[in-house]
Amino acid sequence: MILTLTLNPSLDRTIEIASLDRGAVIRAAAARLDPGGKGVNVSRALLANGVASRAVVPFGGDEGRQLVRLLAAEGLDMVTVPVAGRTRSNVTLAEPDGTITKINEPGTALSPAELDTIADAVLAAAQPDWVVASGSLPPEVPADVYARLCHRFAEAGIRVAVDTSGPALSCALGAAPALVKPNLEELGQATGRPLARLGDVVAAAGALRAAGARTVLASLGADGAVLVEECGVWHGRAPVAGPRSAVGAGDAMLAGFLAAGGRGPEALAGALAWGAAAVLLPGSRMPGPSDIDPAPVVVGPPDPDRPLAVPFPAPPIASPITPAPAPLTQHG
């Protein structure tokens, strides 16, 4: 079973518009409301494809109760943890050419006691094969929280996949997560390197492995993805015609990777097929078997000189890669 943990879940409203004109009254072509948050999306993608998963979801306020109702309506296996604050709401404006404008609320602070209760809920679940700890951190939650959770879950013999960004990612590396899944921007920010070619991506992923991550799955948008692990390095692509929404595509990619075994070129191919399918769907809807087509996926050795379609320039300041702290306190 794959268990997901989302510290900052959300209600995600996606509004399809003809174009984004500042200061104008814009008529929506369509709108939808989905449960959101990176870990929540991973569990939703797994559910859509019949893969056993359970989501640990903190929730608060009317928005939180609505989030739980939406997840229950989808039939998601979940453990809900009530918290004092209010679950956030996000808005995505989607244009016909695939341009996405996102407005994300910061979320609500979680107290140390609430964080401990959430970690206890993970450990109380049936022993999972993986715990996916993912997404942005709520306000006032320390950047080392994923590192602490990695320590605690690893002590229980659970493999941890981390999908986050900035200082939270840099701190998590020192806790030796089994897998990290940065996108191109997150990879560049974590290493402080410009990324213009596939060889740059492979080298940056190697730097994350040297800092502690065992496997790095780097999603590169139109350039596909790169997988760097102990036994090899692979690059894969899945061409997409007419992308509709990239919201949640990285989460679907991570779900596909774990569903396909979590290692090697076969898992990379699964990740790319699931991610490409998600891009063709509206809002943050997750793809099911009828949406996923593995035929266009191509996986092989990376060409280090291949230029990226959208290179990442050198960031002004890289997030420092720091050693992980002690785990969160476990209450008896």
Mean pLDDT of 220-245: 89
Comparing 42 with 319, the larger pLDDT belongs to 42
What pLDDT score does 325 carry? Answer: 59
Q: Is the pLDDT of residue 14 over 60?
A: yes
Contact of 115 with 145, CB cutoff 8 Å: yes
Amino acid, single-letter form, for residue 305: D
Kindly state the DSSP code that residue 125 receives in the 8-state scheme.
S
Is the pLDDT score of 132 beyond 90?
Answer: yes
**Least trusted range by pLDDT, from 86-100, 291-305, 315-329:** 315-329
Q: Is the pLDDT of residue 332 over 50?
A: no
The set of residues, in sequence order, having a beta carbon less than 8 Å from that of 139 and lying 6+ positions away, is 106, 107, 108, 109
What pLDDT, on the 0 to 100 scale, is given for residue 110? 96
Q: In Å, what is the CA distance from 163 to each residue of 14, 197, 254, 296, 303?
A: 22, 23, 9, 26, 25
N-terminal to C-terminal alpha carbon distance within the chain:
25
**Residue 146: CA atoms inside 13 Å, Cβ hemisphere, count?**
36
**Catalytic residue (one of 200, 223, 251, 291):** 251
Class of the domain covering 2-20+29-312 = alpha beta
- What whole-number distance in Å separates Cα of residue 114 and Cα of residue 121? 11
Contact partners, residue 187, CB within 8 Å, separation at least 6: 195, 201, 204, 205, 208, 218, 312
Report the pLDDT averaged over residues 192-208: 97
The yes-or-no answer on residue 251 being catalytic is yes
pLDDT average, residue stretch 100-109? 91
Q: Where do the domains of the chain lie? A: 2-20+29-312
pLDDT tier at 241 (50, 70, 90 boundaries)? confident
Task: Let me know the angle formed at the C-alpha of 190 by 187 and 194, rounded to the nearest 5 degrees.
Answer: 60
Distances from the Cα of 270 to the Cα of 75, 125, 172, 215, 295, angstroms: 24, 27, 25, 16, 11
Q: Which of 188-192, 250-254, 320-324 has the lowest mean pLDDT?
A: 320-324
Determine what percent of the chain is predicted with pLDDT higher than 90: 81
- Tell me the pLDDT tens digit for each residue of 158-185: 999 999 999 999 999 999 999 999 999 9
Choose the weakest-confidence range: 27-41, 105-119, 192-206, 281-295.
281-295
Q: What is the rounded distance in angstroms from the CA atom of residue 19 to the CA atom of residue 307?
A: 30
Q: What is the band of 317 on the pLDDT scale with cuts at 50, 70, 90?
A: low
Position 240 confidence tier, pLDDT thresholds 50, 70, 90: confident
User: Rounded to 5 degrees, what are φ and ψ at 58?
Assistant: -75, 140
Which position has the higher pLDDT, 112 or 316?
A: 112
Question: Average pLDDT, stretch 191-219?
Answer: 97
Per the CB < 8 A criterion, the answer to whether 305 and 291 are in contact is: no
What pLDDT score was predicted for residue 279?
86
Q: What are the start-end ranges of the H helices in the chain?
A: 38-48, 61-74, 112-124, 145-155, 166-172, 184-191, 198-210, 249-259, 264-279
State CA 246 to chain mean position distance: 12
Query: What pLDDT, in 10s, does the model give residues 296-306?
Result: 999 999 999 99
Closest by Cα among 169, 178, 148 to 318: 169
